[in-house]
Amino acid sequence: MNVLVACEYSGIVRDAFEDAGWNAWSCDLLPTESEQTKVSRKHYQGDVFHFLTKFILPDELQLSDDFPLSLDLMIGHPPCTYLSYAYTGKERYSIERMQKKIEAYQFFLDLWSAPIEHICLENPMSYIHSGLIPCTQIIEPYYFGDPYKKKTCLWLKNLPKLTYSEDTLFEKGTKVVPTHQFLDNNLKSQRKKLPILLPLYSDGHARSKFHKGIAKAMAEQWTEYLHKNL
């Protein structure tokens, strides 16, 4: 089965699906950081819609002999820079920023409308959920073994919601106790709760990386689902 992880340079989700047996590709404007992805030669650095419509130079098609002619699944991480609630700068209502917000909405909708039967789009709590399309599911990294809080929205097309489990007398669950949290827009309330995982002015790339536990759950659960339904 073929999967594209759109807007991913970390390789976290792509590698999880490759480990689950998929012909897994990632695509981003940045080069991949994953050594596993580099070895596989399955990262396209460029416009995701060039990848989806195959408007790629012939020599770029030689990245790998396994270049997918069709996709069974796409997982997308649309940039949240202009969609997040977290931005509170004085220019948040400027014409320039509003235009960027409209462009970000359109990018999300274009990914959602891609001609692929099974799609998951991911974003933190943002204006997509409240002002465009309500998400299918809201999850937390600590549900799947990463001990921190960061509300994560999933928009699912022809995919089941992710499930998680808690410890029982007979079996260890995937859910753990959170020890840290990401910043949101309510700093005062956070000071009374868990310590912050990353500083306020930490590198944006570090803050945007996806969660390994959720990536593993996606690969395991949706591989099983699609094997039964394709």
Which domains are present in the chain? 2-229 (3.40.50.150)
3-state class (DSSP) for residue 20: coil
Residue 72: CA atoms inside 13 Å, Cβ hemisphere, count?
Answer: 14
Contact between 73 and 119 under an 8 Å Cβ cutoff? The reply is yes
**What is residue 180's predicted lDDT score, i.e. its pLDDT?**
78
Q: Dihedral sign, CA of 221, 222, 223, 225?
A: positive
**What is residue 207's predicted lDDT score, i.e. its pLDDT?**
52
Question: How much is the pTM?
Answer: 0.85
Q: pLDDT 10s digit of each residue in the chain, 230 long?
A: 999 999 999 999 999 999 999 999 999 999 999 999 999 999 999 999 988 887 555 455 555 667 777 899 999 999 887 777 665 566 666 788 888 888 989 999 999 999 999 999 999 888 888 888 999 999 999 999 998 888 899 999 999 999 999 888 778 888 998 887 766 544 444 455 666 665 544 445 555 578 999 999 999 999 999 998 87
The DSSP letter of residue 191 is H
Q: In what order do the strands lie in the sheet with 137-139?
A: 43-45, 23-28, 2-6, 73-76, 118-124, 152-157, 137-139
Q: From CA 1, how far away is CA 27, in angstroms rounded?
A: 17
**What is residue 20's predicted lDDT score, i.e. its pLDDT?**
97
Other CB atoms closer than 10 Å to residue 52's CB: what's the count?
A: 18
| Dihedral angle computed from the Cα positions of residues 2, 34, 146 and 168, in that order, rounded to the nearest 10 degrees | 50
